[in-house]
Amino acid sequence: MAVDVRGSLRGAALGGTWWRDPRVRSLGYQIGSVAIVTALVAYFAHNASVNMARQGIASGFGFLDREAGFEISTALIPYSPADTYGRALLVGLLNTLVVAAVGCVLTTIFGVLLGIARLSSNWLLRQVTLWYVEIFRNTPLLLQLVVWWDLLRISAPGPRDAWQILPNIFVSNRGLAYPVPVWHEAHIWMLVAMLIGICLTILVARWARQRQERTGEQFHTILAGIGLVVLPPLAVFLAAGAPLDLDKPALAGFNFQGGVIISPEFAALLFGLVANTSAFVAEIVRSGIQAVSWGQTEAAGALGLRQGQVLRLVVLPQAIRVIIPPMTSEYLSLTKNSSLAVGIGFADFVSVANTEMNQTGQAIEVITILMAVYLTISLAISAAMNVYNKYMALVER
């Protein structure tokens, strides 16, 4: 709000008091608060530079080019202790992002299933999911992560006696090992066949919708789509003689070789985050579906729509509007909670940053980087949600 100084002076000349003018007041408050904050910041900065000089701590971001000198057990890009601090941070950031992405996908699937199960007509299923949700929501996440970690690290047997929970999938105290298919030529053709299937599904869906608009006849688009996406790759697979060689994890000496091996820390973090966040997502889904007023289901039923049609055409579109905003909060929460990795020894972004902070003593720079990165992620997700909200808002007067 711009202040019309002339106006307030005129007011003063007319016998009014300028300091009671709301415009002057507002300017005063604003200048005052900015001044206080600036003064505080300046005071802290001064103290910090004095203290850091005394303790011989360097300042500036030059440390990022220095040699790191510490190991990182889980690295998605090549890394060795001879690499720079900057690269170490990158490794940590990638770990965080992978955990967050995989975690969000798994949480969505598991949480939605749990939420629907909470509304099931089966009493036993309702009770079991209720207790699951209550236990995971009312205990601290750090405790849950530590329990998962101990389960996978201490309770799990050594590789020689590893638990085989499914054929060729082993859990031992060195981690979770599972097989991956060996790359074979036919696989490329299978991928091509699947892509063709997806395109065909889109075309069929469009044709079916247009036919329904014209003649009213309905078509089982979903079933057809599943068939189109699954059958062609299967056909290619069989035609090529069913080449499926698995790179199976096998005991070699003291540990497994082959396949993919996930460290116990990574597995604990992932499972712990998914198990915890799904409980919250389940509640969001449940209350979202219940938020759609019962009258909507009644009116749709009264018109003759079947239960499946009522769900698909009336209830779910409205429920999704209510569900998505808190869901994105949970995604953000999961990403931030992945920082608890520092408590179970997994090298995520915060862990690596913490190590660097302790080694170089340059706390201010490291924490600034930390907060800047997380802020960017948060603001990106918030902005995306705002756009989505504007787009989906129910049109009202």
Within 215-254, the residues that bind other proteins by CB under 8 A are 215-218
Restricted to residues 332-371, the positions that interact with other proteins (CB under 8 A) are: 336-337, 339-340, 342-343, 350, 354, 357, 363-364, 367, 370-371
Give one DSSP letter per residue of 255-298, joined into a string: EEESSEEE-HHHHHHHHHHHHHHHHHHHHHHHHHHHHS-HHHHH
- One-letter amino acid of 231: L
Q: How far is the CB of 366 from other proteins (least distance, A)?
A: 9
In the complex, minimum distance from the CB of residue 266 to other proteins, in angstroms, rounded to a whole number: 18
Strands of the chain, DSSP E: 163-166, 169-172, 175-178, 180-181, 246-247, 250-252, 255-257, 260-262
Instruction: Pick the binder of other proteins from 165, 226, 313, 387 (CB under 8 A).
Output: 313
Query: Binding to other proteins (CB under 8 A): which residues in 159-188?
Result: none
| 317/129 Cα distance (integer angstroms) | 24
The verdict on 134 binding other proteins (CB under 8 A) reads yes
Cβ proximity to other proteins: between 237 and 278 the closer is 278
Q: Pick the piece of the chain touching other proteins (CB under 8 A) from 74-82, 188-196, 264-272, 308-316.
A: 308-316
Please select the residue that binds other proteins; options are 11, 66, 150, 324, rule is CB under 8 A: 150
CB of 196 to other proteins, least distance (A): 30
* Residues shown for the chain: 397
Which residue, 78 or 308, is less far from other proteins as judged by CB?
A: 308
Contact, 256 vs 172, CB < 8 A? yes
| Part of the chain binding other proteins (CB under 8 A), chosen from 63-71, 138-146, 182-190, 262-270 | 138-146
β-partners of residue 175 are 172
Q: For residue 201, give both structure tokens.
A: 């599904």
Interface pick for other proteins out of 94, 147, 208, 324 (rule CB under 8 A): 147
Q: How many CB atoms lie within 10 A of CB 254?
A: 9
Asked whether 83 and 363 are in contact (CB, 8 A), the reply is no
Compute the CA torsion angle 59, 61, 65, 68 (nearest 10 deg): 70
Smallest gap from residue 184 Cβ to other proteins (A): 36
Find the shortest distance in angstroms from Cβ 64 to other proteins: 18
- As measured in angstroms, the least distance from the Cβ of 231 to other proteins is 26
Closer to other proteins by Cβ: residue 78 or 304? 304
Q: Are 149 and 346 in contact (CB under 8 A)?
A: no
Nearest to 286 by CA among 123, 110, 117, 106: 117
Residue 13, classed as helix, strand or coil, is: helix
- 44 or 183: CB nearest other proteins: 44
Give the nearest distance from C-beta 282 to other proteins in angstroms. Answer: 15
The answer to whether 74 and 64 have CB atoms below 8 angstroms apart is no
**Closer of 148 and 237 to other proteins (Cβ):** 148
CB nearer to other proteins: give 173 or 354: 354
Decide if residue 298 touches other proteins (CB under 8 A): yes
